[in-house]
Chain A
Amino acid sequence: MTAAAIGASFRPNELEVRPDGSGNLLGSLCRSCGAHFFPIREACAGCLSEDLKTVRFATEGTLYTYTIVRQSTPAFEVPYALGYVDLPEGVRIMGQITGVEFSDISIGMPMVLVLEPFGTSEAGDALTGYRFRPADVTSD
């Protein structure tokens, strides 16, 4: 992907999109107890410390569970696969699943974060969001 093709992040507080097309989900690390949170929080739910730091999360995780959504709001074209992916930091992230036949999705699959076009801004500019795809499938 070229830099010019990358739209701005669909939600900059949660997804960092860099000009080279790479990106990470953003969250908070509690410097006091080490807990991680998604999205960014102002205080730690574990120890109430306010000494939190914004961090980039790892892009690999494991599929905890999933569904195929067949009825949704007008903002989303159905059907689409939706899952929860557990990241090594100890956060569980919901995201759509891409790059795999619905029938080949299974709990426990290793997954990787991918950045993809994800809707448009109010001004009509293309935005970049995230999905997960199975880690053993090569991107095209």
Chain B
Amino acid sequence: MTDVHILGVGMTRFGKHPESDATDLGSAALREAITDAAIDPRALEAVYVGHVFQGMVTGQRILAQVGLAGLPLANVENACSSGATAIREASLAIRAGENDVVIAIGTEHLTNKFSGALTPDPSDPEAAVGATMPGIYAMRARRYMEEFGMTREQLAAIPVKNKANAARNPLAHFRKEITIKDVLESRPIADPLNLHDCSPVTDGAAAVILMSDTAAQKYANGRAVRLAASTLRSGSVDVEPTSMTYEPLTWETAREAYEKSGIGPDEVDFAEVHDCFSIAEVLRVEGLGLFEQGSYPWAVERGEANIDGRLPINPSGGLLGKGHPLGGTGVAQVVELVRQLRGEAGDRQIEGARVGLAHCRGGKAVGIEGAACTVQILIR
């Protein structure tokens, strides 16, 4: 079976794009990825497009805009893991031998659709009693503080770190460093979380081109990065109440990726994880086995997760700093991994990075502790 390689990445600036829509953003990311790969657009054989709130056939609208309509295409919705799921589908098409060159795109235009708190689908019993996504993560934060003694200041250090990284990322939504005091004094959203603990409503798109061994030999010139594993799981229904401070779904998705890639958590050099809220970064990195349960807030205090630390987490700025255009998020994480692994990450370059991991997780339904989770492991 062929390996899967990534050659060609593109990403729009994340932020507010009042002049364009999800089609424009997706088209721009696609064009940049094709240019970056230095391939003829006609080399593309199939397309997967992740988006959540952009309506029917957004992918086809993108292809029509760039003159590529007619290719096999699937639109993919998997909540915040939509873009990452598109990458996984593209990788499966290549591993199956069906295609040699496939593009995965994630795009979302949210600022014209939402302001304020996202909620589960309105039909959900928890949405009916007032659940909001910040509210659910706030409850997890409260429980984590109770169980492990994390302080509010320790939690605030996570957005401080990620926004400092974002300040070094020209494509990030936020470019300004903040202090712990800024976090504590920002508008309360759901206690203990304030505005700076929450990822923003963002427009943006990203694209990556995946290739088989054969295509990579033809086009790569040594610039390709290997996608060693791309795993997906959906959340299970709890038979009894389980801990909300540990994520079995994240661990199971990661465990499969570690097995498939032959890379253990101790061999990961850096990670982009789904920090939709400050507490989420804690739960993700501990669920992934990158840090021991109950230890991460103290590791952040010691600087271990900084760009120059032992195990940098979210060097791009993460969802908190770079922004969170739902469908675009998972693809943008992989763009960051590729740029870091190629040594093209500019001011936020991690020295000597060889193995990167990306994790997405999103969606909520009653009784399900997370709807869709993906893990990707890239090796230079």
Contact = CB atoms under 8 A, between A and B. Distances in A.
Nearest to A41: B237
Interface stretch (A16-24, A51-59, A63-71): A63-71
Interface in A44-85: 44-46, 64-73, 76, 80, 82-84
A61 B119 CA distance: 25
A92 B189 CA distance: 23
Nearest to A70: B188
B64 interface: no
Given A67-B142, A82-B135, A96 B130 contact: yes
A80 B138 CA distance: 13
A94 interface: yes
Interface residues of B, number: 34
A12 to B, nearest CB: 12
A67 B238 CA distance: 22
Nearest to B135: A69
B239 A45 contact: yes
Contacts of A91: 241
Nearest to B241: A92
A71 B131 CA distance: 11
A69 B117 CA distance: 10
A71 B134 CA distance: 9
Given A65-B143, A69-B130, A35 B240 contact: yes
For the complex of A and B, 6 pairs with smallest distance between CB atoms: A45-B237, A67-B138, A92-B241, A65-B143, A46-B239, A68-B191
Interface of A: 10-11, 14, 35, 37-39, 41, 44-46, 64-73, 76, 80, 82-84, 86, 90-92, 94-96, 102, 107, 129-130
8 contacts: A39-B125, A39-B367, A67-B191, A68-B191, A69-B138, A73-B132, A83-B139, A102-B191
